[in-house]
Amino acid sequence: MQIPDEHVGIRLEDMLLITETGYENLSAFVPIEIADIEKVMAEPGLSDAMWKAGK
C-alpha cells in the first residue's frame, strides 16, 4: 500500500498457521483498504480504556 502524497509505503503480510492438513490465515479479518483501516483506527481501543481508568 502506498500513500504517495505523504511519501509513505506500508507492507501488509498475512499471519499463517501451517497445519498437517493445510494452513489457516490468522490475519484474514484485518482490514487492508485505507478507508477500512481509518474506520477501525477511529474506534475506541485498549489505550482509550486505560487512559479513562487513569493509567
Cβ(42)–Cβ(31) under 8 Å?
Answer: no
**What is the reported pLDDT for 50?**
66
In this prediction, residue 14 carries a pLDDT of 93
Question: Tell me: the pLDDT tens digits for 1-55?
Answer: 788 888 888 888 999 999 999 999 999 988 988 899 889 888 888 777 666 776 5
pTM here is 0.51
Nearest to 12 by CA among 30, 24, 25: 30
d(Cα 16, Cα 23) in Å, to the nearest integer?
Answer: 7
Instruction: Give the pLDDT confidence score for residue 44 in this predicted structure.
Output: 85
